[in-house]
């Protein structure tokens, strides 16, 4: 819903890991015990009312735990299956309903909106695909991060369409991406017209029920035992129950309640063909090419990114009192869901840090094993050669044949003199080793008073240096 969707997606994937004063240290790897301790400390340090986190690895849920309270007033804890309002994560479910109807031959995703709502602005020029891709141009009715006076009162569906899809467009259809909840309200109505059923009924019969998402409901949490209460606060004040959006305001754009584990089950089902056949899933996850030629990273209810070679499907959500995040790596059947009932405390950094750790762990298992190298470690090896070069000669028995030929006496003397002039390094940092060509490869950063030098070290298992090159900062 609100909370700057694109900014959040980019933050989750790209934000640097910075430890703020007083924050618990992020684990060095995705060790579940360490992650559990980190989350517990984060909840306490940041003031989350409640948090629910679930992790899937290789198609199995390996971690599901609640932290803090789902209700302050009743002093009830967040449990592994506590349900939260997940806001705009609903959108991928809405799009799945549309694709299921397309599979059944009841609509086409390239149908014009005019087929269903001919009175809407430029309804002949805007398609169902445009609504799903956020490229329709219809203004967003919910761009703010707080509930304004409009949303405290119920709104009729027809009034919503008249007020937000019956006036001037923000841009020419298909020419831009601009996040619009309005389009998803219209999609909910199209699902109802094409299916002949209320949206919630179609969703439950075709997705929530068949996929056994037993802790998920659309529209209301009344039938969900132990659902969380959403909280808000202003200017560092104490948390207080957040009033929900009135009827008609979020619906197919953000009306789903779910547990963290249910969302991971959904991710797995969606990406493994259990929800729809592959051609329809491909259509749902193909980013939009705009009329300008630019490619949006948003497909249908999902952000689609490539991170270090892996496709990542992701979406965040935010409705009154709740924030959520769902990230999944289809290739590895691995994902992370973080749900919070604390809208006034950002979970963006926490989600981003944990997801990067998870992705790093996944990709490390794909990498070729780093050969074990005999002799000293990379830091000691680099400093030893550095000292030898500073003295004007090197022990060539420690070098591979080709590197020994390359490292002529003239290079040793000239390079050694330049490096010696920098003084002694004040700090030496060793990077993460990886394999290349049967060698252990690692970068060692030398920090001097006036500059930094990167040493690129390649060694074979026998300990011989096959490459040691120095680069400026």
Beta bridge partners of 327: 314, 336
Beta pairing class for 84-85 and 256-258: antiparallel
pLDDT tens digit sequence for 238-257 = 889 999 999 999 999 999 99
Start-end of CATH 3.10.450.590 domains in the chain: 378-472
Structure tokens that stand for 296 in this block: 């949006």
CA separation for the pair 254, 245 (Å, rounded): 10
Q: Which CATH class, in words, describes the domain spanning 5-366?
A: alpha beta
Residues across the chain: 473
Integer Cα distance of 13 and 262 in angstroms? 23
Compute the mean pLDDT over every residue in the chain, rounded to the nearest whole number.
Answer: 92
Do 213 and 268 contact (CB within 8 A), yes or no?
Answer: no
The DSSP string of 406-429 is HS-HHHHHHHHHHHHTT-S-SEEE
Give mean pLDDT, residues 267-275.
97
pLDDT on residue 24: 78
Half-sphere exposure of residue 430: CA atoms within 13 angstroms, side-chain side: 13
Q: Given this model, what pLDDT does residue 444 score? A: 96
Question: What's the topology of domain 378-472?
Answer: Nuclear Transport Factor 2; Chain: A, (3.10.450)
Least trusted range by pLDDT, from 15-19, 357-361, 376-380, 460-464: 15-19
Q: What are phi and psi of 45, to 5 degrees?
A: -70, -35
Find out whether 171 and 265 touch, Cβ atoms under 8 Å.
no
Q: How far apart are CA 391 and CA 119, in angstroms?
A: 84
Report the alpha-carbon distance of residue 61 to residue 266 in Å, rounded. 12
Residue 20 has pLDDT above 90, yes or no: no
- Residue-wise pLDDT tens digits, 349-375: 999 999 999 998 888 877 778 899 999
**Average pLDDT rounded to a whole number, residues 262-288:** 97
| Residue 410, number of CB atoms within 10 A of its CB | 8
The pTM is what?
0.80
Question: 3-state DSSP call for residue 26?
Answer: coil
The CATH 3.40.710.10 domain(s) of the chain lie at 5-366
The answer to whether residues 449 and 383 touch, using CB atoms and an 8 Å cutoff, is no
Rounded distance, CA 155 to CA 413, Å? 80
* Distance from C-alpha of 366 to C-alpha of 217, rounded to nearest angstrom: 37
Alpha carbon dihedral 27, 325, 261, 188, in 10-degree steps, equals -170
First-residue to last-residue Cα distance in the chain: 43
């Amino acid at each position: 819903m609100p909370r700057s969707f694109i900014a959040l997606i980019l933050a989750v994937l790209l934000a640097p890991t910075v430890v703020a004063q007083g924050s618990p240290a992020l684990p060095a790897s995705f060790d579940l015990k360490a992650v559990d301790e980190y989350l517990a400390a984060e909840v306490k340090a940041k003031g989350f009312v409640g948090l629910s986190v679930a992790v899937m690895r290789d198609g199995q849920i390996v971690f599901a735990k609640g932290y803090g309270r789902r209700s302050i007033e009743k002093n009830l804890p967040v449990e592994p299956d506590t349900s939260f309002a997940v806001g705009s994560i609903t959108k991928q479910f809405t799009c799945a309903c549309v694709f299921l109807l397309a599979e059944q031959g009841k609509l086409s995703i390239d149908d014009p909106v005019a087929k269903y709502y001919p009175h809407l602005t430029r309804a002949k020029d805007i398609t169902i695909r445009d609504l799903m891709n956020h490229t329709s141009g219809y203004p967003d009715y919910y761009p703010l991060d707080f509930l304004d006076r409009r949303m405290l009162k119920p709104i009729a569906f027809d009034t919503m369409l008249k007020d937000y899809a019956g006036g001037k467009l923000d841009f020419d259809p298909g020419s831009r991406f601009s996040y619009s909840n309005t389009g998803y309200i219209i999609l909910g109505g199209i699902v109802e017209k094409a299916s002949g059923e209320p949206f919630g009924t179609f969703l439950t019969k075709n997705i929530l029920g068949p996929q056994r998402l037993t802790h998920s409901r659309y529209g209301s949490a009344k039938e969900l035992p132990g659902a969380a209460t959403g909280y808000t606060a202003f200017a560092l004040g104490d948390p207080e129950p957040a009033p929900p959006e009135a009827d008609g305001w979020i619906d197919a754009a953000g009306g789903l309640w779910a547990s963290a584990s249910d969302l991971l089950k959904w991710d797995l089902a969606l990406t493994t063909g259990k929800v729809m056949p592959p051609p329809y899933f491909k259509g749902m996850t193909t980013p939009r090419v705009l009329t300008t030629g630019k490619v949006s990273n948003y497909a249908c209810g999902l952000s689609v990114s490539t991170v270090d070679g892996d496709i990542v499907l992701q979406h965040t959500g935010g409705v009154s009192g709740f924030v959520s995040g769902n990230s999944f790596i289809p290739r590895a059947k691995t994902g992370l869901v973080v749900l919070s009932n604390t809208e006034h405390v950002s979970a963006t950094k926490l989600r981003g840090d944990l997801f990067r750790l998870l992705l790093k762990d996944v990709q490390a298992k794909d990498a070729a094993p780093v050969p074990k190298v005999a002799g000293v470690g990379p830091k000691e090896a680099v400093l030893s050669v550095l000292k030898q070069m500073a003295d004007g000669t090197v022990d060539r028995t420690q070098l591979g044949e080709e590197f020994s030929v390359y490292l002529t006496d003239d290079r040793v003397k000239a390079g050694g003199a330049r490096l010696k002039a920098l003084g002694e390094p004040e700090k030496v940092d060793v990077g993460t080793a990886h394999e290349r060509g049967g060698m252990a490869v690692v970068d060692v950063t030398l920090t001097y008073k006036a500059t930094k030098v990167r040493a690129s070290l390649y060694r074979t298992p026998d300990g011989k240096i096959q490459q040691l090159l120095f680069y400026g900062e």
